[in-house]
Amino acid sequence: MSTVTFDTLKFVKTLEASGINEKQAEATRKLIVTRPPIKS
């Protein structure tokens, strides 16, 4: 299994820069970070 590096701070800042508020951006980050792995 391979590992993917994901800059969550940059992700949240990009969402905020596009107009998404801080709470929504942080909730989206949390969802992505805590989701179960995708089985192929």
Q: Whose structure tokens read 């192929």?
A: 40
Percent pLDDT > 90 in the chain is 62
Show the domain range for 19: 1-40
- If one counts the domains in the chain, the total is 1
**What are 17's two structure tokens?**
């820069």
| Dist CA 30 CA 33 (whole Å) | 5
- Walk along the chain (40 residues) in steps of 10 and give the mean pLDDT of each run: 82 96 95 81
Looking at residue 12, what is its pLDDT? 95
Instruction: Record the pTM.
Output: 0.71
Looking at residue 1, what is its pLDDT? 58
Looking at residue 35, what is its pLDDT? 80
Average pLDDT, the chain: 89
